[in-house]
């Protein structure tokens, strides 16, 4: 992660850019920023990924990767997997915000034989319990819309 103070920015007046970039081992570079809902533009970058979005995406991605593993192991061919995951912020008793829950809403398309509802739910349950990220957080992570 790299952030640099813009030339001429005082910093101590709290009017500095929250824009930064994430650099990953494989070479991917992702623009990142505080959410414009928290820090107004131009001090935030609406094109950047904010930490809360990244958190939800990380949970969704981890779940999906494990789900695909269990589907393949069960002999099911997945054609596509899309997730409209959403994070929900709440205030704690002391007034601080936290990501209290993340709801995963996967839409999965199979080719050939598809799992029945019980097998589908079991694969999601296994994926949830295998996901390294879900096991590492106190946020409630649930899956909705399993059919």
Given strand 140-143, what is the order of strands in its sheet?
Answer: 86-91, 97-104, 140-143
Residue 23: strand pairing partners: 29
What CATH number did the domain enclosing 116 receive?
3.30.300.20
Do residues 36 and 87 both lie within one domain? no
Same domain (yes/no): 92, 21 = no
Angle made by CA atoms 24, 7, 14, in degrees to the nearest 5: 85
Per-chain mean pLDDT for the chain: 96
Go through the chain and tell me how many residues it has.
Answer: 147
**Residues 67 and 129 grouped into a single domain:** yes
Are 82 and 119 found together in one domain?
yes
pLDDT digits (tens, 9 = 90+) for 19-70: 999 999 999 999 999 999 999 999 999 999 999 999 999 999 999 999 999 9
Residue in 99, 68, 98, 100 with CA at minimum distance from that of residue 83: 68
Instruction: For residue 22, give its domain range.
Output: 1-49
Answer whether 45's CB lies under 8 Å from 18's CB. yes
* Res. 89: pLDDT tops 90: yes
Q: What is the pTM of this model?
A: 0.92
Picking from 83, 78, 62, the residue whose alpha carbon sits closest to that of residue 146 is 83
Residue 4 confidence (pLDDT): 97
Do 40 and 103 have their domain in common? no
89 and 117 assigned to the same domain: yes
Question: What is the predicted pLDDT for the residue at 147?
Answer: 60
Domain check: are 73 and 110 in the same one? yes
φ/ψ of residue 112, rounded to 5: 75, -150
Query: 3-state SS of 56-102?
Result: HHHHHHHHHHHHHHHHHHCCCEEEEEEECCEEEEEECCCCCEEEEEE
pLDDT at 112 (0 to 100): 93
Q: What is the CA radius of gyration of the chain?
A: 19
**Does one domain contain both 129 and 84?**
yes
pLDDT digits (tens, 9 = 90+) for 42-54: 999 999 999 999 9
Same structural domain for residues 55 and 43?
Answer: no
């Amino acid at each position: 992660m790299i952030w640099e103070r813009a030339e001429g920015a005082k910093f101590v007046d709290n009017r500095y850019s929250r824009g930064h970039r994430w650099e990953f081992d494989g070479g991917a570079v992702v623009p990142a920023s505080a959410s414009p809902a928290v820090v107004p533009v131009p001090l935030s970058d609406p094109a950047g990924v904010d930490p809360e979005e990244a958190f939800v995406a990380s949970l969704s991605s981890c779940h999906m990767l494990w789900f695909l593993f269990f589907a393949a192991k069960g002999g099911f061919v997945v054609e596509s997997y899309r997730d409209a995951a959403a994070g929900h912020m709440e205030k704690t008793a002391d007034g601080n915000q936290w990501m209290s829950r993340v709801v995963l809403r996967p839409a999965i398309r199979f080719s050939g034989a598809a799992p029945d509802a019980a097998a589908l739910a079991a694969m999601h349950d296994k994926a949830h319990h295998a996901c390294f990220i879900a096991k590492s957080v106190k946020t409630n992570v649930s899956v909705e819309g399993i059919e």
